Homo-oligomer: A and B are copies of this chain.
């Protein structure tokens, strides 16, 4: 079970101790994906200087709730998260799954309050980035500001891609698209592109894709029967990535 998945014990609350070498951006395996991407050594250190807290978030607990006052951005250090919105009638919509090196909280800047819920899909850790201190750094580290803008812009593009999926694709396309997407993100992080764990429940997958849990289950069975994947609970292997990629495209449109 992920709940009791081994995590290196956190250092004592003493902040200086928390910033031992292993916790520094410079020595973090994600620093070429995460916020410090492209920064020189000294600038990375200055960014490091404002990230005083790592925070552990247990499975199924919230990193933040909608409406919480906004003070920090968070970078996922270990684990996985989902973010979700809730509509007026209480319907939930998962707006994204976040993995190591990705930022959480960008949507809160506009209103100074968080505009979604962020929940850990497994026991996870985040780096807490005080936004006001980050803003202060922007004035003296242009490269940091640049990359921050890129990350926000990327989030916009990502969301618009999700709109494309929800608005235009059939169930099978959407599901294939999610698998291919996860695959490429794991690959970018040095993990296998074809074998990984689905950190989210079938229900989460269905919700994200605008489908029901039953539909997801049926597609998993079908893909398995077709020899495209193997599944064992949440462990999945993509046996035929090229065909899955083709599936994301569906029938070519006529006009």
Contact = CB atoms under 8 A, between A and B. Distances in A.
Given A163-B163, A207-B167, A89 B252 contact: yes
Interface string A224-255: 00000000000000000000000011111100
A228 B114 CA distance: 34
Q: How many copies does the complex hold?
A: 2
Interface stretch (A42-50, A54-62, A147-155, A187-195): A147-155
B110 A153 contact: yes
Interface string A123-160: 00000000000010011001001100111111111011
A85 interface: yes
Contacts of A252: 89-90
A151 B252 CA distance: 36
A166 interface: yes
Contacts of A72: none
Interface string A149-182: 1111111110111111011110000000000000
Contact of A107 (B89, B153, B207): B153
A183 interface: no
Contact of A153 (B152, B208, B209, B251): B152
